Chain A
């Protein structure tokens, strides 16, 4: 190996930080882009099927939109505690972070309960026709994201109540909050597509 001369000392640099400084933030962004692309293509496929079928929906009635609307309202409302969790994580305020994470976990469970009910209100089965298939697919795709984020949140909440609840874990809380924004944001187009395109 070649001779070396030290020209810069990085000893004083921190070992963790928040936001774009961390590699994890970029990784999360990368997976959001991948999943966002998946959503976009699923939406494109849905619209393609709308386009090739002279009639839409291929069912007697559009789905009951109330459960979906409830999910939308709760998701939008969850932006506040989510933001608080993110903010308090950056402040490294452990009690506050614990509180907000518990609230976010609870919200997640409520959402999943409503989501299960939502499937029963679509008024079409997935194996009935392409409309049913596409609708179930979109809804299931988004449900998967709520479930995975909830699992992540619950584990993180548990973690914050153990001795690990310090240091770099605060950056993880921030990341988790970041991902939740994506879950909320992706529901808006899905919601319009599932409930309002068939009424249009």
Chain B
């Protein structure tokens, strides 16, 4: 089992080299080459994470542009900017893009980038799978947006309820495009979830016991578990939908023993945890930012972790509250009311712990903290209106109205996008080595905060005044005109804040102040390495002695030595107490994940046109997988 037999020429260890030379040699070993093939082959989690982030933000801007178009259409009653066909595609694409192509991927992107750094390892677990999942996500996104550009964008809502999306009423290929895009993004999300779970379980730096894992990593871990358990539901839902449409099965055809509510159960069994899949990573970001800017460890580490886990569990017991108006048995619905209310407790505990962290100190009011404070204001409103929606009677009035639109934008923009923007300001120096402009950051925050509330608060009232969701127009006699106009004005301001954000990012990448390793004097391991981090992340793997290793070890960092220098090796540790137990080889770059993803894209897209694509499309996928896993005969592959 020992590798004593491995040829000694390549068995150079990091203990044998001075710091400078070690750094240079490791950078060579772990680096990504130049040229197109090398770029497509990279398995560096930082490069892939950055691509993920940029792609997700591009989709955010695209989805935002759709929202702006919808707001313009709704600004006045009877507006003729968009017809019903265009509007229905727009809101479907907006929801689909934001949920599947922005919110989930962006959180995973941050996880892909940061989790390996925070746990002190050199690359994510299964780096080739990571490359594959990025390409698959990208191709899925390009696919649905291409369809949209060709006017075959889906028009049945991001939820694609049957029978509207079924063979009888869903026209042309539109719902197929939606269903297959789901398959792309879920394959990608599930793969990343496994990578993050295994990275967190097995690749933590020695000494990082379970109770020393940074809260963001905990949040990503719980999120990944939620993904693993919830996303199969949407895969089953979208697959059976497409089977109904393409080969004539009858899962959802009431005339042949099928049932349309089955689809809703499957969809929301995924759909509600989905909200927490988006929100939980954001709470992790909040925990990290609050601790750094309160300049103390997060108050209530254990309650915060337990809250994350409790939310993860409870999120699976809420799905029926999306179906209160479908005529389910009363008693069953009451159970889901109780469950939906219960989730307020762990959410409350988190809020209390963050406030307690800030309490009695000297908070440093920089842009990341401003966004977190905005998060408190907006998310608490969204959480409280969520309590209203948990009540069956209240839900019967406001379900499928603009009240719900207001609620979930408070939860998702307030609860996830505000922390995410804060996180970008916070970790931008780590990614780029430069600070973002603080002045622009403050403008960015206030425009976003004011614009957001102007845009979405009136929607609560519109919903109560009877305005349903997903209507492309309304009559002047309905009395909804003024609040809609106000919401549109708010949306414009919100859009400006995002333009400012993009400008800040672009100008700071080139001209921002040089950040240094740890500009905020934060306590976790990602700040222990250079900004931006070298390809190997750490020249030597840190040995962790505390939850905030950089605060605890102000002198020389304790590290472990003994990993190879000329071959990619990561240190594998035990699950609970993170004792070093293995020096595992980590895969080299490879073009095959990219090719496998291309082959899979051909299969998925082809299957929309003929079910046989699944058969002949499997051949190139198989070939690509063979290339991926067949060892090249190098030392690191032989072990």
Interface residues of A (CB under 8 A from B): 1-17, 20-23, 26-27, 30-31, 33-35, 37-38, 41-42, 45, 48-49, 52-53, 58, 126-134, 136-137, 151, 155, 159, 163-164, 166-169, 171
Which residues in A have their C-beta under 8 angstroms from that of B556? Answer: 2-5
In the complex, the answer to whether A15 meets B582 with C-beta atoms within 8 Å is yes
In the bound complex, CA of A2 to CA of B580 (Å) = 22
Interface contact B202-A167, CB-CB below 8 Å? no
Please tell me if the beta carbons of A166 and B638 are within 8 angstroms of each other in the complex: yes
With contacts A14-B1, A137-B240 taken as known, whether A130 is within 8 angstroms of B256 at the C-beta atoms is yes
A140 → B minimal CB distance (Å): 10
Which of B572, B582, B622, B630 is close to A159, meaning CB atoms less than 8 Å apart?
A: B630
B235 pairs with A38, CB closer than 8 A: yes
CB distance from A132 to the nearest CB of B (A): 8
Considering only residues 594-639 of chain B, those with a C-beta below 8 Å from chain A are 622, 626, 629-631, 633, 637-639
**Given known A-B contacts A49-B258, A126-B247, A6 and B540 have beta carbons under 8 A apart:** yes
**Distance in Å from the Cβ of A149 to the closest Cβ of chain B?**
13
Contact with A along B504-533 (1 / 0, CB 8 A): 000000000000010000000000111000
Q: Is A2 in contact with B557, judged by CB distance below 8 angstroms?
A: yes
Q: Residue among A7, A131, A136 with the most chain B CB within 10 A?
A: A7
A27 x B198 contact (CB < 8 A): yes
4 shortest interchain CB distances as A-B pairs: A168-B639, A11-B562, A133-B249, A130-B257
The answer to whether residues A34 and B262 also contact, given A13-B583, A130-B251, A164-B638 and a CB cut-off of 8 A, is no
B460 interface hit (Cβ, 8 Å)? no
- In chain B, positions 225-266 with a C-beta closer than 8 Å to chain A are 228-229, 231-233, 235-236, 240, 243-244, 247-251, 253, 256-259, 262, 265-266
In the complex, A17→B638 CA distance in Å? 12
A5 to B542, CA, bound (A): 9
Contacts of A136 in B (CB 8 A): 249
Given contacts A45-B262, A155-B630, 7 further A-B contacts (CB under 8 A): A10-B562, A13-B582, A15-B584, A34-B190, A38-B235, A48-B259, A167-B638
Whether B249 pairs with A9 at a CB distance below 8 angstroms is no
Tell whether, in the assembled complex, residue A10 and residue B262 are in contact, meaning their CB atoms are under 8 Å apart.
no
A42 to B202, CA, bound (A): 31
A-B contact pairs, 28 of them (CB 8 A): A2-B557, A4-B557, A4-B558, A5-B558, A6-B561, A7-B558, A8-B206, A11-B15, A12-B562, A14-B2, A14-B583, A15-B569, A23-B202, A23-B572, A23-B584, A26-B202, A38-B232, A41-B266, A48-B265, A53-B257, A126-B248, A129-B258, A130-B257, A133-B250, A137-B240, A137-B249, A163-B633, A167-B638
CB-CB under 8 A from B202, the residues of chain A are 23, 26
Q: Which residues of A contact B517 (CB under 8 A)?
A: 1-2
Say yes or no: B557 contacts A3, CB within 8 Å.
yes
Q: How far is the CB of A126 from chain B (nearest CB, A)?
A: 5
| Bound-state Cα–Cα, A14 to B584, Å | 8
Residue of B233, B269, B626 most packed against chain A (CB within 10 A): B233
Give, as a whole number of angstroms, the nearest-CB distance from A157 to chain B: 13
Question: A3 contacts which chain B residues (CB < 8 A)?
Answer: 555-557
Partner of B584, one of A22, A30, A127: A22
Q: How far is the CA of A7 from the CA of B557 in the complex (A)?
A: 9
Is A41's CB under 8 angstroms from B269's CB?
A: yes
Q: Determine whether the beta carbon of B540 is less than 8 Å from that of A4.
A: yes
Q: Contact at A11–B561, with CB atoms within 8 Å? A: yes
Q: Inside 8 A of B193's CB, which chain A residues have their CB?
A: 30
Evaluate contact between B243 and A130: CB separation under 8 angstroms: no
Most buried by A among B228, B528, B558, B582: B582
- The listed residue (A10, A37, A133, A155) touching B560 by CB distance below 8 A is A10
B510 vs chain A, min Cβ distance (A)? 24
Residue of A nearest to B542 (CB): A4
Report B-chain residues with C-beta under 8 Å of the C-beta of A41: 232-233, 236, 266, 269
A37 to B226, CA, bound (A): 12
Nearest neighbor of B201 in chain A, beta-carbon distance = A26
Q: Across the interface, which residues of A come within 8 angstroms of B243, CB to CB?
A: 126, 133, 137
Chain A nearest Cβ from B452, distance in angstroms: 36
What residues on B are CB-neighbors of A58 within 8 Å? 256-257
**A27 and B639 contact, CB distance less than 8 A:** no
Is B438 an interface residue when CB atoms closer than 8 A count as contact? no
> Quick check: is B338 within 8 A (CB to CB) of the other chain?
no
Please, how many angstroms separate the alpha-carbon atoms of A30 and B195 in the complex? 9
Binary flags per residue of B185-220, CB closer than 8 Å to A gives 1, else 0:
000001001100110011100100000000000000
The answer, yes or no, to whether B23 is at the interface (CB within 8 Å) is yes
Contact (Cβ within 8 A) B585 A126? no
Q: B581 contacts the other chain (Cβ, under 8 Å)?
A: yes
Give Cα A7 to B560, complex, Å. 6
Closest chain-B Cβ to A103's Cβ sits at a distance in Å of 22
A75 to chain B, nearest CB (A): 22
Query: How distant is B569 from chain A, measured CB to nearest CB, in Å?
Result: 8
B480 in the interface, Cβ–Cβ < 8 Å? no
Residue of A nearest to B249 (CB): A133
B194, A31: Cβ atoms closer than 8 Å: yes
